[in-house]
Amino acid sequence: MSAVKPLKKLVSCVILDLDGTLLNTDGIVSEVLKVFLVKYEKQWNGKAAHKLVGKTPFEAAAVIVEDFELPCTTDELISEITPMFSEHLWCNIKALPGANRLIKHLHGHGVPIALASNSPRASIESKISCHQGWKESFSVIIGGEEVRMGKPSPEMFLEAAKRLSIKPSDCLVIEDSLPGVTAGKAAGMEVVAVPSIPKQSHIFTSADEVINSLLDLRPEQWGLPPFQDWVEDTLPIEPWHIGGPVIKGFSRGSKVLGVPTANLSTESYSTLLSEHPSGVYFGWAGLSNRGTYKMVMSIGWNPYFNNTEKTIEPWLLHEFEEDFYGEILHLVIVGYIRPEANFPSLESLIARIHEDRKIAERALDLPLYSNSKDDPYLKMPLQGVENHS
């Protein structure tokens, strides 16, 4: 964990958005739209997804009707598509990384938490009921129909502060969308933006802070109790697995950075990657015919090289005498080091990569992480390389 930054401001409560901030709803919405649009001989490709972020259900439906030139009204679309979002479907939505940790931490320290979403109250209740301990952790829950105007109007946040009996200026809002950030600032509150759309941090200029994911939130910067789960500059996470044959990457690992990464194809695990924030992680790597090795890896777009797609680039911390393209690689990811970042020079990027290596090597000797070296997944045969989260 990096050095603690100066206190930004003292706050007394936290107001959270739901969709895109705590829950990874984008995937479910996309799947429903794919099915729905077939009826009109249209195809959902996700390009309009950014237009739906932070919108009320009516506004989002209006975007779909207009963008796809559908022969129906917004109200008709809503009545047709709403039944497709069943309670069972909502229960398949995963919490975003850091969401459970944050809610449990704040509630456990007696920090008042409110949930304020443009979604209907019934939808909110369905979504959070599938996550143990969430509903009882919120002192206040406000749905879109409980106020006259949804975000970007500040009304919802002001109502949350009123119900909490806390001054707006003492509230911290955490939001993933521009309408939500706009609403929070208009309410006179402090706002942390956690953009849910990739490579969009630059548009959140009005936020008081922009972070890559909830894993990067530092409550102590807002006068709230700090997390106590960082261990030697690393954050333990629920282990997840990924594997496949090693492929040729961008040819910059060894040639440009002096870091020989073992790349995996993104085709088979794009959904899994979407569930994990970009950043630097570490864990164990198993090569089918060689053994198990310490590993540090990046997930993301690598801002210095401005990748066009989200990739995963593991660096096996071992000196190999030859390439191993085509061999089966299994990864067990056990911890998080830092968010993805840009660097002013190639030299500063290389220096940070080697610092990440030192952190990972040291941490993986701790029993907390070293036990995962014996994970059976690392030694699975070829047919067992499917992704496991």
Note the pLDDT tens digit of each residue in 92-135: 889 999 999 999 999 999 999 999 999 999 889 989 998 999 99
pLDDT score recorded for residue 308: 73
Model confidence over 343-353: pLDDT tens digits?
A: 899 899 999 99
Give 9-24 as a DSSP string.
---SEEEE--BTTTB-
Angle, vertex CA 142, rays to CA 200 and CA 13, nearest 5: 75
Question: What confidence score (pLDDT) does residue 310 get?
Answer: 84
Going from the C-alpha of 70 to that of each of 31, 36, 61, the distances in angstroms are 18, 11, 11
Nearest alpha carbon to residue 234 among 125, 362, 388: 362
In tens, the pLDDT along 218-273 reads 999 999 999 999 999 999 999 999 998 888 764 445 555 667 778 887 777 777 88
Q: Does 357 score more than 90 pLDDT?
A: yes
Q: Which two tokens stand for residue 193?
A: 């933006």
Tens digit of each residue's pLDDT (9 = 90 or more) over 182-223: 999 999 999 999 998 877 788 999 999 999 999 999 999 999
Kindly compute the dihedral angle of the four CA atoms of residues 25, 140, 213, 4, in this order, to the nearest 10 degrees: 180
pLDDT in the model for residue 45: 74
User: In this predicted structure, what is the pLDDT of residue 385?
Assistant: 43
Q: Which tens digit of pLDDT belongs to each residue from 34-63?
A: 888 888 888 887 777 777 877 778 888 888
DSSP-derived 3-state class of residue 31? helix
Q: What is the pTM assigned to this prediction?
A: 0.86
* Residue 331 backbone phi and psi in degrees, to 5: -120, 135
Task: List, by residue number, the catalytic residues.
Answer: 17, 19, 313
Whether pLDDT at 384 is above 60: no
- The tokens for 254 are 């060894």
Lowest-pLDDT choice from 85-89, 90-94, 281-285: 85-89
Q: Are 156 and 116 in contact (CB under 8 A)?
A: yes
pLDDT band at 361 (very low <50, low <70, confident <90, very high): very high
- Compute the mean pLDDT over every residue in the chain, rounded to the nearest whole number: 88
